[in-house]
Structure 1
Amino acid sequence: MDFVIVTGLSGAGKSRAINALEDIGFYCVDNIPPKLIVKIAEFCLKSKGQIDRVAVVVDARGGALFHDLFDGMDDLRKNKIEFEVLFLECNDDILVRRFKETRRKHPLLDTVKGEIEQAILVERELLKPIRAMATYTIDTSHLSPAQLKEQIANIFLGNVTGGMLVNSMSFGFKYGLPLEADLVFDVRCLPNPFYIEGLRHKTGLDAEVREYVMEFPQSRELAKKLLDLIDFLLPQYIQEGKSQLVVAIGCTGGKHRSVTFAELIARHLSENGVRVNINHRDIQK
């Protein structure tokens, strides 16, 4: 049975994540008391295969009950029920904007006497231990609902094959660092296609841009060094038990150089039998 605990910051997109999981065949239960996690797992196991993919949402809405989450996970381990943790992350300023737009109340708002920024800070501290042990982390700050759904499908539809999943991500520094990144590489040192009139409105998905970026000796040398480093690091992360690795390549706007290198890394890893998901975070901006 695939058993996933979904948690994360309020406003980060857990409801959309659950919808995406339901769409790919998960039986989902939202906002349950953590002590009931093992009961749900046992119930699904007794279904004799009728329910073999399960996702439960546990978050700050449970109030003081949330502190029982680690006890709930210990109960799963004692019953030899394997599970994974999906954590939804987001920038503070975007969370504030989302709450203002939806006019929804943050679950910790009363605790901090009506200050939304303080509520987010308190929740982030509350969730720090579970974030540190998350199997998968997705930063939804700059993701559309469709992009979030695509990432979840790439993770959990491919998960049946086992092994590490590498997310090769391009991004633009002008839009902020990706919070879920494990490795961040800056390719702004390379010649920028933006200043070439015929390439400005194209992206690293276009052959002309890729050819321009990689025609320079420093680009080819950097690519070689990055691939060598990633090839060295990947087995080390696997040995430490890591299930997901997010390799983020950044340029100024996230359209040309970073996309070229993210595609190059993904192709290299795929050719070497590694499960890879490609995410061009800012390519449409």
Structure 2
Amino acid sequence: MTGDCLKRVLLITGVSGAGKSTALKTMEDIGWETIDNFPIRLVEGLLQTPPSSSRGDSDPPLALGFDSRTRGFEPDKLIDSINRLQQEPGYLISTLFLDCNGGELERRYGETRRRHPLALDRPAKDGIALERTLLAPFRRWADHVIDTSDLTANDLQRQIRQRFSLDKNASTTITITSFGFSKGLPNNIDLLFDVRFLANPFWDPQLKQMTGLDPEVAEYISKDSAYAEAIEKILDMLKFLLPRYQDAGKAYVNIGIGCTGGRHRSVHVAERLSKDLHTAGFSPSVRHRNLASRPTEALESMQSLNGNKGI
């Protein structure tokens, strides 16, 4: 059986407070099936259980978390059990150990006010020392070791994604939404740009019933003296931020472009930014929330500033 056909199983353990929960959540986000505190002696039966029919993939890789609290935790026996599993044909079984220095663990327990599971009635440092002794065989034996002493949760997520991503070419899903402020803000917007400073085609009788998808409206907006510089600055910011969101493992980035009614300026700018981002190597999708809304003069008039309609 080739390596590509092997069933991947990752056993995740480590000292309490080092980030096992974060690691498992990240593994789930990148497509692994995850179970925490699963008795290792039951793994063989689990591997023979068919995956849920609700999953789109036929048989996802499996990440199992366990630590000193897991039922039947005996390091030497567990290592023997894992060694036997690794001899089974059809499986690729490896172990990730999450470590952290004692001082940092004490700080984390102090900040969260949680009690260490092995020192419920004693100082956290006692439980940390005891657990480190119990887990020492696993640290020496593990295939992967990540020391989280100097890592933030985002840093750990990034390392997990880099090491265990199923799709090395996975990219952040980018959505650009045009909308009208008069209809309220869209949900889940990460980056918001207000383009009400641009000249408003609504006040041109010939353009009023058109939308930002019409070339006449696009030409009108682009003649605004601030237009070219504004587009350039917004695009520069997006080209700077989007790769960093992807490096941080953010699955979705939602960009909001708002004007008054959501039919003219925001629509055109969203389309223009989408085109420029495609040219820059990104793959955004565009949604026009209020494109089909009826133009309402009262709403536009309420947005007039300094006597200049629609700005």
**TM-score normalised by length of structure 2:** 0.47
Flag the 1:144–1:88 CA change in 2: closer, same or farther, 3 A.
same
Flag the 1:70–1:31 CA change in 2: closer, same or farther, 3 A.
same
Q: Which of 87, 97, 102 pairs up with 2:112?
A: 102
2:9 partner SS = strand
Deviation at 1:73, TM superposition (A): 0.6
Q: Work out the CA distance in 2 between the residues paired with 1:15 and 1:8.
A: 11
Considering only aligned residues, what root-mean-square deviation do their CA atoms show, in Å? 2.6
Q: Work out the CA distance in 1 between the residues paired with 2:42 and 2:62.
A: 14
2:37 corresponds to: 31
Bigger helix fraction: 1
Deviations 1:17-68 (A, max 9, x none): 0011011000000011121122222225798962321100010112653444
2:145 corresponds to: 137
2:129 corresponds to: 121
2:78 corresponds to: 69
2:47 corresponds to: 41
Deviation at 1:151, TM superposition (A): 0.5
Bigger CA radius of gyration: 2
Q: Which moved more, 1:61-70 or 1:29-38?
A: 61-70
1:18 corresponds to: 24
1:213 corresponds to: none
2:12 corresponds to: 6
* Pairs within 5 Å for 1:1-285: 1-43=7-49, 50-62=58-70, 64-67=72-75, 68-80=77-89, 81-110=91-120, 114-157=122-165
Deviations 1:207-259 (A, max 9, x none): xxxxxxxxxxxxxxxxxxxxxxxxxxxxxxxxxxxxxxxxxxxxxxxxxxxxx
Flag the 1:160–1:52 CA change in 2: closer, same or farther, 3 A.
farther
Deviation at 1:160, TM superposition (A): 8.0
Report if aligned partners of 1:31, 1:56 keep a CA contact under 8 Å in 2. Answer: yes
Q: Work out the CA distance in 2 between the residues paired with 1:37 and 1:10.
A: 22
Deviations 1:245-283 (A, max 9, x none): xxxxxxxxxxxxxxxxxxxxxxxxxxxxxxxxxxxxxxx
**Unmatched segments (≥5 aa) in structure 2:** 1-6, 170-311
Q: Work out the CA distance in 2 between the residues paired with 1:37 and 1:146.
A: 30
1:11 partner SS = coil
Deviations 1:170-221 (A, max 9, x none): xxxxxxxxxxxxxxxxxxxxxxxxxxxxxxxxxxxxxxxxxxxxxxxxxxxx
- What is the number of residues matched between the two proteins? 159
1:61 partner SS = coil
Q: Work out the CA distance in 2 between the residues paired with 1:52 and 1:126.
A: 31
1:12 partner SS = coil
